[in-house]
Structure 1
Amino acid sequence: MTSALRSLEQIPVSRLKGVGAAMSDKLAKLGLETVQDLLFHLPLRYQDRTRIKPIGQLRPGDEAVIQGTLVSCDLVMGRRRSLRCRLRDATGQVSLRFFHFSAAQKNALKPGLELRCFGEARPGPGGLELYHPEYREIAQEAPEPTEQRLTPIYPLTEGVTQGRLRNLCAQALELQVQQCGLREWLPEALQQRFSLMPLNEAVTYLHHPPVDADLHQLSEERHPAQRRLAFEELLAHHLSLLRLRQQQRSQGAPALNAKGELEQRFLAQLPFALTKAQQRVYQEVGKDLASPAPMLRLVQGDVGSGKTVVAALAALQAVENGYQAAVMAPTEILAEQHFSNFRAWLEPLGLTVDWLAGKLKGRKRSEALARIAGGESPVVVGTHALFQEEVKFHRLGLVVVDEQHRFGVHQRLALREKGEAGGGQPHQLIMTATPIPRTLTMSAYADLDCSIIDELPPGRTPVNTVLIADQRRDDVVERVRAACQQGRQAYWVCTLIEESEALQCQAAEATAEHLAEQLKGLRIGLVHGRMKAAEKAAVMAAFKGHELDLLVATTVIEVGVDVPNASLMIIENPERLGLAQLHQLRGRVGRGSVASHCVLMYQNPLSQQGRERLRVMRETNDGFRIAEKDLEIRGPGEVLGTRQTGMMQFKVADLERDADLLTRVKAVAQELAEDTPRVDAIIRRWLGRGERYAQV
């Protein structure tokens, strides 16, 4: 593969067997460009394929290896065609269901074949089913052995299978041995002082844990090998924050003094009074804006706590000083919501609010760009279209970013640079509805000042949350029918344990199909992650316009549109989601004045931890209490984990789970701060080219 010794961060993935230009592009989507990247691309979890489970012992939600004889294979014609095969062993039978299949595959699956399959058992119309299981034919006269070690399950992207990724990681591990391993950047004395496992040993263990590995410890991500990598990654982020603070102090920003006239007129026309929490947070923001040092403030507030009003007040302070404010949201739906709010609030004050999104084309677009560049539009609301090179601001003084974790590093940086033409940089106000435990804001966001709106406006109805076992699914379906017949709308959220987006989408499609059969007469829409943005937006707009009664979706609706008429949400398998994500999803209902309900439809048996976490959801609607509880339970809540919010994109560490490492990390960062070559190497290893994020 390579002769001369080169460091693993310099060897491109294209040097591995089976990686051509097309595969390189696909791997790049996962951030895998070098052999070192592959070594740090750790499994999400592990499957035990070392034993064959009798079909009769399968329970819903089980992932298992089964083996049996095919007894039938039929085409089933429904809203979507599928291939259903029945597999039988001495203890029982199960269906294998394929929505995507070729004629060759259909012809090859003949009754009498002995198959070994792996998949997740799910309830179907006629008993348990495995959707798209992995399978292979087994010769009856020469039984094949099962796997000899735990099978890693890696995060994937379109066009890269688990098998292919396992093969590439195995090649990377071989190279790791040949090239004398990854370079240790932590001084040996420091490793001993904190009892840290050697880096190369930790990486090898996590890709190939032995059969007797403690699966519970690995799934909780508390294994010494995981902690070793988390420690170094947290250190890299902390070192980059120290750098950020130094850079931040050296740059100026316009001092936007509060004049108060627009603010008073704005508050007088609002149909409600600000809560005490909103007043307090706006005072903190206003004080920052008046300073000649750039504001970098994070405002946290639960769904519906009124963060947007605070953002509008900040925008008015910039406008009164002759500057522009840009408000950016991650989706067109969310941006449109902000646009209609800002327009309703600011146009009566004589201020033009402009709109910029990908779908704005032709003359309208040119006119908007001219108004923004000429300063006629003091406030601009939009999506990532605001970053485009052709967008020129007259005098940008404030950038408001909603749900900032949904934007790429370079996008946020590009917007900030648009304000630098005047010599300083714009102030930044970052808003999130993802509650972050108070215990973490101090250490994890050392570079940001944090404000919390910890009070809901009067008149918001708390959502009533109920727990119902999956066996009562028919009752839940009837509940949906009753709500929709009364003129209300409902969400049905599908979650799946498999990390593949393709399978999640198939599960949502199958669910929509089953519900359409059960709920004839209701208008049902479907939204999932593999749909084009325009398709998703059209379905969401139809739901908002009450052209649909029921929206079946994957968790893509977590941050979404405001539909006050939606008063019921069903979440399937809620035990598989983090508390923070459940709380975000639940925030889609209860936005009107009518009583709203969230039904958590779980699979039995629930683990002790699963039961405890769902109980918290039932007992409180306070996002901060939920975040604190998540931290306390140490569940896989991932309040700040990459896969859910990714405020700082972590590969291994989790700020919530690894909070106990932060004090040691801080101390080590201070010790190493002056050792520039070592600091550079640690930051480069973990943040790569993304280290520019440290300037965001």
Structure 2
Amino acid sequence: MTQSLDQIPVATLKGVGPKVAEKLAKVGVISIQDVLFHLPMRYQDRSRVTPLASVQVGVEAVIEGEIKGCSVVMGRRRSLVCKIQDRTGLATLRFFHFTASQKNNLTTGDRLRCFGEARRGASGIEFYHPEYQLIDSAYTIDQPEQLTPVYPSTEGMHQAGWRKLVKQALTMLGPQQLREWLPRDIGPIATTSLAEAIRFLHHPPVDADMTLLAAGQHPIQQRLAFEELMAHHLSLLQLRNIAQQQPAPRLNMQGELLPRFLDGLPFALTNAQQKVQNEILTDIASELPMLRLVQGDVGSGKTVIAAIAACAAISSDYQVAIMAPTEILAEQHLHNFSNWFTPLGVKVGWLSGRVKGKKRQDQLKLISSGEAKVIVGTHALFQEEVHFAKLGLAIIDEQHRFGVHQRLALREKGAHLGRYPHQLIMTATPIPRTLAMSAYADLDCSIIDELPPGRTPVNTVVMANNKRDAVIERIRESCRDGRQAYWVCTLIEESDQLQAQAAEDTYAELTKQLNGLAVGLVHGRLKAQEKADIMARFKAHELQLLVATTVIEVGVDVPNASLMIIENPERLGLAQLHQLRGRVGRGSVASHCVLMYQTPLSKQGKERLLAMRQSNDGFYIAEKDLELRGPGEVLGTRQTGLMQFKVADLSRDSSLLEPVKQAAEELVSRHPECIEGVVTRWLPEATRYGHA
């Protein structure tokens, strides 16, 4: 029986010893099939020789000419300079790394054919380190009949090496070794076979449409993108299927807890909140584990909905865990849930990395004994020493900041009773529809698309840093009128220490310039209690201006704050800027957000700030963020590994997502035996969602 290509190790190829195999493994190339699916990132047209007079700066070209001279030049860097000439003009080849034999082989009068990118040099057109070969007058070089592939690489692997490997792998490619896992009656699969598609993408003919290929929109690329998106979708469905095979507790609303909770709220639920509440309560009344994502823009009231779900769990005698990615957001949840539940006689527990010693032991005891019914915390909640008595509901805020495996680890905390907790995931970072359909395909989605009455849209202004004095004067006026303001410092470095230093410098400067105003400072290096004290003082109007790092991005609610200055906003992603802006506009007074950028601003920086100025709609902002930064960054670094595609691109191929979803359903119902083959081909074990 013929061995399939995914079972033949790459080491069987000529030129692949242990060292090369190790380098290839770094980019996930372990089998012959992996070599074939390591597709070019772009192509070069080397089929035509360009006359030297027609060469354009910044464009790759094949050139040919006679060597007119070759010498070593001692400039800022020693280089080998070779002049070549054709009937139309002259060009210079420059090599910074060269050998004596290389210099000796470039003889005046010989003809060369070169390929490289043209640059503007001191003496006209120059090519740095071009690929070249000598042309013997006895024969001519055949022009290639295919476009030349350029592969994504790793240290120690050159393009020539990749091309040799692919050439060998293609000789082993036959219909039997590369099985078609998608039946022809499933989805819009082209008539091209998988083997033909792979051959084409490694060696497209010279008449192939390079514009379509460069954009990733060639029908053959789309055929593979469809199958790859299908693999990701099926993998998430497998994850959901595993989760739903184990029963969850039935959580029904009983007794007076919910009516008493609702009576204590100073507002009525919006229609959108009531709709999402009903979806959640229906889910958790079933033995099928709930996997629901609640999206809502900043301030739409997701936390109240989470508390209503908690009421159902508590009244059914189960515990609720609320997990947040940062200490400050977890503290905000602790504050809210304590205010809501303590008066109702429900004990609220607290666990974070900073709760240590006896206090930690006391909290662990409250959790394991079941005395604490609501437990709020950071990722400390899924650590080994934490034992829940009876966990029925896990609420995870801003899930994209955690890896999928962390969500699963919290779920396992309820497994000892044979029933797994329901999962409610909340995010104030609206997830673009394209990502919701792919990265979150294992979750049901609810959207709170209505803001509570009394919230005002925020007016966003973009200005350069040279207007700093005018902005400071604006703060003085606003605070004199009884309002409060935020000044947010951002840094490129992700270092708490540097961020804290930047914030401390700004705090000192603003305290001096705004003499007479009460200014506070909060950053990530402060102790939890210090942060809580400063936030409490700001909330109580004892401080008029709060200087902060991006730690205030989520969870801070001060309705009297109506002005926010964000320094260097070009350094942040759109979703984060939108989150920060959501700290103002929480009262009935007109609110403003000033984005104060450093000049010069990059093209992408301009686009980001323009999007912020144009819209307050988190979903528009999220789509724009995805378009500008790509899925890996939008999801957060912890999840990037899950969303790296070989062919597909979520922004470009969003039109394929609906057909992919339908085709996946058909495959599950009619050809379940094909699922594993599709998934393992595109998602190696390391990036499978279920094993993340």
TM-score (norm 2): 0.66
Provide, for residues 206-227 of structure 1, a one-character-per-residue CA deviation record: whole Å limited to 9, x for no partner.
9xx9xx965x985x76566864
Provide, for residues 413-472 of structure 1, a one-character-per-residue CA deviation record: whole Å limited to 9, x for no partner.
11111212222211111111222356875687554322111111233332111234xxx4
* Larger deviation, residues 258-267 vs 31-40: 31-40
Q: How many angstroms apart in 1 are the aligned matches of 2:600 and 2:42?
A: 21
Change (3 A) 1:491 1:314: same
Residue in 2 that maps onto 1:328:
323
Q: How many angstroms apart in 2 are the aligned matches of 1:353 and 1:38?
A: 54
Change (3 A) 1:577 1:519: closer
What displacement does 1:323 show?
A: 0.6
Matched, 1:521 2:512: yes
Provide, for residues 152-180 of structure 1, a one-character-per-residue CA deviation record: whole Å limited to 9, x for no partner.
998xxxxxxxx964848986665444445
Residue in 1 that maps onto 2:643:
650
Larger Rg: 2
Residue in 1 that maps onto 2:104:
none
* Larger deviation, residues 367-376 vs 591-600: 591-600
Map 1:101-500 → 2, pairs under 5 A: 145=128, 165=155, 167=157, 175-180=165-170, 184=178, 186=180, 192-193=190-191, 200=198, 218=214, 222=217, 227=222, 230-244=225-239, 246-259=241-254, 261-437=256-432, 447-468=442-463, 472-476=464-468, 478-480=470-472, 482-483=474-475, 486=479, 488-493=485-490
Residue in 1 that maps onto 2:565:
569
The residue identity in structure 1 corresponding to 2:644 is K
What displacement does 1:279 show?
A: 1.8
Change (3 A) 1:321 1:151: same
Change (3 A) 1:560 1:308: closer
Q: How many angstroms apart in 1 are the aligned matches of 2:364 and 2:309?
A: 23
Provide, for residues 550-578 of structure 1, a one-character-per-residue CA deviation record: whole Å limited to 9, x for no partner.
4466xx8765755764832336475x976
What displacement does 1:474 show?
A: 0.5
The residue identity in structure 2 corresponding to 1:237 is H
Contact 1:253 1:294 survives alignment (8 Å): yes
Provide, for residues 371-403 of structure 1, a one-character-per-residue CA deviation record: whole Å limited to 9, x for no partner.
111110111111111111221111111111111
Q: Tell me, what secondary structure is at the counterpart of 2:363?
A: helix
What displacement does 1:272 show?
A: 2.3
What displacement does 1:615 show?
A: 5.2
Q: Tell me, what secondary structure is at the counterpart of 1:460?
A: coil
The residue identity in structure 1 corresponding to 2:486 is Q
Residue in 2 that maps onto 1:109:
none
Q: Tell me, what secondary structure is at the counterpart of 1:297?
A: strand
Q: How many angstroms apart in 2 are the aligned matches of 1:410 and 1:281?
A: 26
Contact 1:525 1:539 survives alignment (8 Å): no
Q: How many angstroms apart in 2 are the aligned matches of 1:302 and 1:200?
A: 43
Q: Tell me, what secondary structure is at the counterpart of 1:643?
A: helix
Change (3 A) 1:511 1:343: closer
Change (3 A) 1:518 1:324: closer
Contact 1:483 1:568 survives alignment (8 Å): no
Q: How many angstroms apart in 2 are the aligned matches of 1:389 and 1:465?
A: 45
What displacement does 1:281 show?
A: 1.2
Contact 1:570 1:598 survives alignment (8 Å): yes
Q: Tell me, what secondary structure is at the counterpart of 1:425?
A: coil
Change (3 A) 1:174 1:271: farther
Contact 2:569 2:577 survives alignment (8 Å): no
Change (3 A) 1:197 1:431: farther
Q: How many angstroms apart in 1 are the aligned matches of 2:228 and 2:553?
A: 28
What displacement does 1:625 show?
A: 4.7
What displacement does 1:549 show?
A: 4.9
* Larger deviation, residues 142-151 vs 280-289: 142-151
Q: How many angstroms apart in 2 are the aligned matches of 1:37 and 1:330?
A: 36
What displacement does 1:364 show?
A: 1.4
Contact 2:457 2:616 survives alignment (8 Å): yes
What displacement does 1:344 show?
A: 1.2
Residue in 2 that maps onto 1:597:
593
Q: Which runs of 5+ in 2 are unaligned?
A: 44-55, 60-73, 77-93, 97-120, 132-146, 514-518
> CA RMSD, aligned part only?
5.6
The residue identity in structure 2 corresponding to 1:597 is C
Change (3 A) 1:195 1:599: farther
What displacement does 1:358 show?
A: 1.6
The residue identity in structure 2 corresponding to 1:483 is I
Change (3 A) 1:204 1:521: farther
Change (3 A) 1:615 1:6: closer
Give the fraction of aligned pairs with identical amino acids, expressed as a percent.
46
Provide, for residues 95-143 of structure 1, a one-character-per-residue CA deviation record: whole Å limited to 9, x for no partner.
xxxxxxxxxxxxxxxxxxx999xxxxxxxxxxxxxxxxxxxxx999x98
What displacement does 1:368 show?
A: 1.2
The residue identity in structure 1 corresponding to 2:273 is Q
Give the number of aligned pairs. Answer: 571
What displacement does 1:255 show?
A: 1.2
Contact 1:491 1:566 survives alignment (8 Å): no
Q: How many angstroms apart in 2 are the aligned matches of 1:626 and 1:431?
A: 18
Q: Tell me, what secondary structure is at the counterpart of 2:190?
A: helix
Change (3 A) 1:658 1:192: closer
The residue identity in structure 1 corresponding to 2:471 is R
Q: How many angstroms apart in 2 are the aligned matches of 1:506 and 1:139?
A: 45
Change (3 A) 1:616 1:359: closer
Change (3 A) 1:259 1:289: same
Change (3 A) 1:300 1:255: same
Q: How many angstroms apart in 2 are the aligned matches of 1:376 and 1:681?
A: 48
Q: Which runs of 5+ in 1 are unaligned?
A: 54-67, 71-113, 117-137, 155-162, 496-500, 528-532
The residue identity in structure 1 corresponding to 2:632 is T
Residue in 2 that maps onto 1:132:
none
What displacement does 1:318 show?
A: 0.3
Change (3 A) 1:275 1:618: same
The residue identity in structure 1 corresponding to 2:466 is D
The residue identity in structure 1 corresponding to 2:370 is G
Provide, for residues 46-71 of structure 1, a one-character-per-residue CA deviation record: whole Å limited to 9, x for no partner.
9xxx9589xxxxxxxxxxxxxx998x
What displacement does 1:330 show?
A: 1.4
Q: How many angstroms apart in 2 are the aligned matches of 1:6 and 1:583?
A: 45
Q: How many angstroms apart in 2 are the aligned matches of 1:442 and 1:408?
A: 18
The residue identity in structure 2 corresponding to 1:489 is Y
The residue identity in structure 1 corresponding to 2:465 is R
Change (3 A) 1:331 1:505: closer
Contact 2:248 2:288 survives alignment (8 Å): yes
Q: How many angstroms apart in 1 are the aligned matches of 2:632 and 2:248?
A: 31
Change (3 A) 1:52 1:669: closer
Residue in 2 that maps onto 1:64:
none
* Larger deviation, residues 269-278 vs 437-446: 437-446
What displacement does 1:322 show?
A: 0.7
Q: How many angstroms apart in 2 are the aligned matches of 1:540 and 1:9?
A: 55
Q: How many angstroms apart in 2 are the aligned matches of 1:414 and 1:473?
A: 45
Change (3 A) 1:195 1:175: closer
Change (3 A) 1:578 1:421: same
Residue in 1 that maps onto 2:64:
none
Change (3 A) 1:507 1:145: farther
Q: How many angstroms apart in 2 are the aligned matches of 1:298 and 1:524?
A: 36
* Larger deviation, residues 676-685 vs 297-306: 676-685
